[in-house]
Amino acid sequence: MGQTITSRAAVQSASQDELIAIFARLMRERHKATLYLFGSRARGTAREHSDYDIVAVSDAFGQQSHFRRCLDRDELWHTAGGWRKALDLHCYTPGEFRKEVAGLGYLGQARARGELIRIKPAPRAQQAQGRSIAQAERRGAA
């Protein structure tokens, strides 16, 4: 009696939320970016190995070509705890983002379905926890 049973899906959801919140904090600190989640993880239909579809929006990206934006994405993703988790990061300036969301492309469709979710950055204390999770996963894979 009084026992709490936590499903694997609930644990995965909590760790997913923590991962993207820590990544959002790191992206905000490094690139002054606001992040949005879309795709299967925003819809709640993701499978265990589904990638993370994330949009980063920052004025800083306007000074770079599309191919040179956020070249440190893998470093930040792994620091957040995203080791062995696929990331599909799209980087836009605020103006580019507004056009994409207003259009008929994937972001416009995601917005129309209510599947474009702004990610709230994690407090700094969670960053260290994200690193320790990633380190433990790397040790387990070795």
The domain ranges of the chain are 10-141
pTM of the model: 0.78
CA separation for the pair 105, 112 (Å, rounded): 11
For residue 134, is pLDDT > 80?
A: no
With a CB cutoff of 8 Å and minimum separation 6, the contacts of 133 are: 15, 81
For residue 139, is pLDDT > 50?
A: no
Give φ, ψ of 72 to 5 degrees: -90, 15
Q: Report CA-CA distances (Å) from 10 to 13, 40, 79, 107.
A: 5, 16, 23, 27
State pLDDT tens for residues 18-53.
Answer: 999 999 999 999 999 999 999 999 999 999 899 999
Judge: domain 10-141, CATH 3.30.460.10. yes
Provide mean pLDDT across the span 75-91. Answer: 96
Neighbours of 8 (CB within 10 A): 8
Give the model's pLDDT for residue 13. 53
Percent of the chain topping pLDDT 90: 72
